[in-house]
Amino acid sequence: MKKLYDEVYRESIENPEKFWAKEASKVHWDKKWDKVLDVVDGHYRWFVGGQMNTCYNALDVHIDQGRGSENVLIYDSPVTNTKKIYTYNELRDEVAKTAGMLAASGVKKGDRVVIYMPMIPQAVTAMLACARIGAIHSVVFGGFAAHELAVRIDDTRPDVILSASCGIEVAKVIQYKPLLDEAISLAKHKPSACFIYQREQCTADMTAPRDKDWKDEMTKAQPADCVPVDAIDPLYILYTSGTTGTPKGVIRSNGGHSVAMKWSMDNVYDAKVGDVFWAASDVGWVVGHSYIVYGPLLAGCATMIYEGKPVRTPDPGAFWRVCEEYKVNQLFAAPTAFRAIRREDPDGKWAKKYDLSNLKKVFVAGERCDTPTLLWTKQITGKEVLDHWWQTETGWAIVANPIGIEPLEIKPGSPTKPMPGFDLKVLDADGKECEAGKLGNLVLKLPLPPSCLMGIWQNDERYKRSYLDYYKGYYLTGDSGYIDKDGYVWVMGRMDGVINVAGHRLSTGEMEEVVASHPDIAECAVIGIDDQLKGEQPMGFVVLKDGVDTDHETFVKEVVQLVRKEIGPVACFKIATVVDKLPKTRSGKILRGTMRSMADGKTWSVPSTIEDETVLPSIEQSIKELGYPIKDKG
C-alpha cells in the first residue's frame, strides 16, 4: 500500500539523510557512499564517497536486465521529414562509439565538452558519451548568437566542442558553423578540436586541422566503457536562460542527480518502465537535460527527440499526431506551447482528429500556467493537466502533484504542494514567515535535496550572493507567491514581478490570470512600470485569438473593467493595448524585463535568447502609442 503524501513529505524533511539513502538504493552504484550528506561552506554534497556512472544507469543497466531490443529513443523531425527509432542496444553502441571518438581526441574524466547542437539524436548521444567517460558537458542552446556562445566557451574552457552544420527553424535553415567559428574567434580560450555533424540540409566549411567530420571520425572510433566517477563529480554545467554578460553556470552532480531524477519519474510523473515519455522542449534547456535525456532513461522509459514546433510544422495538430503515432504516455510542455495551439485552433478541432487514448497525463512547467490555458488543454485532450514549478538550479520539481504517491486535488493556477526535500517557506522583506495567503518571497530552508545546484562554475562568491546571502539559512528562489490554508503553493512570478502601487504590494501574475480569463484572449503579459505618483503601475499587453474581430479601444476597456471587478480599483490597471505577438525567448518565456525597460525609457538591447527579433520594434511602437515613456517625469 502506498504511503500518503503527507507522511512521505514529513519523513523527507525530518530525516532527509535516511529518506534519500533509501531512494539511492534504486540506483546502481560501483561503490556505496561513505556519507549521505556533507555540507561544506554552503555547498550541499550528496552521497560523498560513492561511485557510479550516469550513462551506465541510463543505458547499460537496462541492457543487463534483458531489455536491449526494446525501443528507447524516438526521433521525429517534421522539418526534415525524418523518423528514426533506436533500441537500447543501438543507442548504447552509438553512445559508446561517440565516447570513444572523444577519448581518442584526448578527452578524459573531468574535462569539459561544449555541445552546440540542434534537436537531433546526436545531441543525446553526445551528452551520454560525455557522462560515459566522466567528462563534463555544457550544452549551449543551438542557434545561440556567437557572443553568447563565446562567453560560455571562455567560462567552461572546453577541450572539445561538438556541433552540427545547421539547425532548422520551421522552414529556415540556420547555419551553425559560421556562428561557431565567430564564437571561437571572439573567445580567449581556443578548443583543440571541433567535431561537426554534417547534415544534408547544409554542408559546413571545415577549418583544418581543428575541425573534424563527426561521421568520418565515428567510423574510426573504438567503443568506450563506462568510467566510474565520484557521486559529487560534476555531470554537467548548464547556463541559466537569458544570461548576459558573465554567464551563471549551474553545476549538477552525478550521484544526487540520478537519485532525484529516478524519484521524480516514479512519483511526480508516475512513469512506468516501458512508457513513452515526451518532454516537448530542447536539450539546450534544463527540461531537456532532466526529462528528454536523463530522467526517462534512468526510469527505463522511451524518450523523444522532436525537431519541430507545436504549430506550423505543419499545423496545430502536430503534438497530437506525435502522441498518437508513438503512443505517448506522458506529455510535458511549457504553457506557451498550448497557448500557441489554442490561438490557432481555439475549438480543438485538430485534437479530435487523433487518438490520444494512450496519453495518461499532460504536464506543464517553465512559466506560470494561467487557468484558462490549463482548463482548455484539459478540455480538448480529455486528460488531467498538472502544473508544476521548478528551476534550472533545482533540476526537478520544487512543487508538483505527486501522482505516483497520492494524486492530490487540482487547484487551477497552483502547481500543488512541495516535493520531498524541498522545505518551502514564504518570507517577508524582514525574513519573517508569512501567514497563510499572504504574498511574500518563496525560499527553501536548507539543506537542498539531491540534484540541486552544487554551485556556480568558477564563481563561488556569485553562488552565495545570488542564492544564500539574501536570507541566512535559506535558498532564494527569486520568485514570489504564497501558501494557502490548505498548503497549496501559488507562484505569482519573479520577485521583481511584484509591484508596489501606492503602497500596495500587487502581483502582475495575478493580474495576468484575470486578463487571460477573457474568452477572446489567446495570451497576455502584465508588467510594472515606473509612476511618479504611485511608485509603480501595471501595463497590459494582450494577444487576441485567431478570428476575433473587435474594436481594440472598446476591447481594452473590457479588460480594464475585468481586472477592476476581480482585483479591485487598488490594482490601478488602466493601461493596456492589443498586440499581434508577445516577445519571447526560444524557451517560451515572455521578455517582460525588456518591455519594462522600453516603457520606462531605459536602455534596452535585443536579448540573445529571443525567438523573433521583429516583435520588439512593434512592441516599442505600441508602448509609444500609449504615451510611454513619459519624457517629462516632473
In whole angstroms, give the CA distance from residue 31 to residue 120.
Answer: 34
E strand residue ranges, 23-159: 35-40, 43-48, 51-52, 71-77, 82-87, 112-116, 136-139
Q: Is residue 243 domain-shared with residue 182, that is, in the same domain? A: yes
Residues 48 and 129 in one domain: yes
Please give the residue that has the higher pLDDT: either 612 or 50.
50
Asked whether residue 619 is domain-assigned, the answer is yes
Q: What confidence tens digit (pLDDT) does each residue in 261-320 have? A: 999 999 999 999 999 999 999 999 899 999 999 999 999 999 999 999 999 999 999 999
Number of helices (H), then strands (E), belonging to the chain: the values are 20, 32
State the DSSP code for 466.
I
The SS3 assignment for 103 reads helix
Same domain, yes or no: 449 and 594: no
Quote the pTM value: 0.86
Same domain, 453 and 519: no
Instruction: Residue 149: give its domain's CATH number.
Output: 3.40.50.12780
At 367 the pLDDT is 77
Instruction: List, edge to edge, every strand of the sheet that includes 193-197.
Output: 211-213, 193-197, 160-164, 112-116, 136-139, 234-239, 249-253, 455-456
Report the percent of the chain where pLDDT is more than 90.
81
| 442 domain-assigned | yes
pLDDT of 242: 37
Q: Which strands, in side-by-side order, build the sheet including 489-494?
A: 423-427, 440-445, 474-483, 489-494
Q: What confidence score (pLDDT) does residue 523 get?
A: 93
Residue-level pLDDT at 148: 80
- Considering the domain boundaries, does residue 558 fall inside one? yes
**76: exposed, middle or buried (C-beta count within 10 Å: 0-12, 13-18, 19+)?**
buried
Q: Are residues 127 and 199 in the same domain?
A: yes
Which of 253-257, 339-343, 585-589 shows the highest mean pLDDT?
A: 253-257
**Cβ contacts of 15 within 8 Å, gap of 6 or more:** none
Does the structure show a pLDDT above 80 at 533?
A: no
Same domain? 62 vs 174: yes
pLDDT tens digits along 359-373: 999 999 987 788 889
Q: Omega of the bond prior to 234 within 30 degrees of 0, cis?
A: no
Give the separation between CA 521 and CA 467, rounded to whole angstroms: 36
pLDDT at 496: 61
pLDDT value of residue 633: 47
Domain count, the chain: 2
The answer to whether residue 634 scores a pLDDT higher than 60 is no
Give the Cα separation of 268 and 41 in Å (integer).
Answer: 31
- The overall average pLDDT reported for the chain is 93
In a domain, 397, yes or no: yes
User: In the structure, what pLDDT confidence band is assigned to residue 503 with cuts at 50, 70 and 90?
Assistant: low
Residue 90 shares a structural domain with residue 25: yes
Calpha distance 456→532 (Å, rounded): 38
- Find the DSSP H helices in 163-243: 177-186, 214-220
CA 40 to the chain's CA centroid = 28
Residue-range definition of the domain harbouring residue 541: 504-625
Is the predicted pLDDT of residue 3 greater than 70, yes or no? no
On whether both 128 and 188 belong to a single domain, the answer is: yes
For residues 242-263, average pLDDT: 84
Residues 6+ apart with CB under 8 A from 62: 68, 70, 72, 88, 300
pLDDT of residue 564 exceeding 90, the answer is: no
For the chain, report the end-to-end CA distance as a whole number of angstroms.
Answer: 68
pLDDT digits (tens, 9 = 90+) for 472-497: 999 999 988 999 999 999 998 777 67
Q: Is 260 part of any domain?
A: yes
Domain boundary among 432, 447, 480: 480
User: Residue 367 domain-assigned?
Assistant: no
Is residue 476 domain-shared with residue 510, that is, in the same domain? no
Reading the block at residue 552, the C-alpha cell is 481594440
- Other CB atoms within 10 Å distance of the CB of residue 64: 11
Residue 227: pLDDT over 50: yes
**Which helix H or strand E contains 161, and what residues bound it?**
strand 160-164
Structure confidence by residue, pLDDT tens digits, 585-604: 877 888 988 999 999 999 99
> Is 473 in the same domain as 512?
no
pLDDT at 32: 98
Query: Would you say residue 496 lies in a domain?
Result: no
Residue 589's pLDDT is 81
pLDDT tier at 41, thresholds 50, 70, 90: confident
Other CB atoms within 10 Å distance of the CB of residue 207: 13
Is there a domain that residue 86 lies in?
yes
Q: Are residues 32 and 67 in the same domain?
A: yes
What tens digit of pLDDT does each residue of 105-124 get?
999 999 999 999 999 999 99
The per-residue pLDDT for 1 is 37
For residue 576, give the CATH number of its domain: 3.30.300.30
Main-chain phi, psi angles of 531, to 5 degrees: -140, 125
Give the three-class secondary structure for 427: strand
What residues contact residue 553 under an 8 Å CB cut-off, 6+ apart?
none
Confidence of residue 632 (pLDDT cuts 50, 70, 90): low
User: For the segment 144-180, what is each residue's pLDDT rounded down to a tens digit?
Assistant: 778 889 989 999 999 999 999 999 989 899 999 999 9
Indicate if 446 and 558 belong to the same structural domain. Answer: no
Question: For residue 259, what pLDDT is reported?
Answer: 98
